Structure 1
Amino acid sequence: MSLRSRARFFLPKNPFASFSLTSGWIRKIRETRITKNRVPIRNLSPEDREKRLHYWKRMEHQNALIGILVLAFLIMDAVIYPDMLAVIGSTGAGLFVGAHWYYAHRMCQLLENVS
């Protein structure tokens, strides 16, 4: 068996296909996109509104608990084991979690105040 025939065995049949193993997964994900429809909150049914409100309240509580955990790590990094790099990392994580908490809190406010 020549080197050329061995190399052809490993090359993809379609020359435009990617060599990576995940290219098939990426192609499937791209082909099965879910279309996003923006619907005003006023147009939602009461059941759908309650379902979304329940979801966002759960997200708000989860992010608050994660925020408390990050705050505990921040205090531990600053007071118990002083490490400036860890304090910077914990502050960044706190800002990230705080932004997610605020978004969930704001979504709860919007869903509760619909008339």
Structure 2
Amino acid sequence: MALYRLTTTTEPCVVIREGDGACIPPDPANGDYAAYLAWVAAGGVPDPAPAAAANAALLAQLDALDAKSVRPLRAVLAGTGTDEDRAKLAAIEAQAAALRGQLTS
């Protein structure tokens, strides 16, 4: 676990300090923000915002579905696809649509 965690917004705070949960605003005059910037400059990497981490996992699942769809899609496009190929594509698209619905902005 990192010392800081990013947030999904820029106001009122850009990072949360993990030790005490302090909300740190992006204000260069704020000593906590200056400490955070120094930590990053020294190589520190904050934990991602919760939504960003969840989205990364969802996007990885979508990539895996895309890879699964290549063979049946190629067959359908070539005119050699079977009903099984079309059913696979429909199931994959349904899974992908459900995952897309879980993505957060």
TM-score class, shorter-chain normalisation, is: 0.3 to 0.5
Q: Which has the higher contact order (CA 8 A, sep 6+)?
A: 1
- Structure whose residues are more often strand by fraction: 2
- Structure whose residues are more often helix by fraction: 1
- Name the larger-Rg structure: 1
TM-score, L = length of structure 2 = 0.43
TM-score, L = length of structure 1 = 0.40
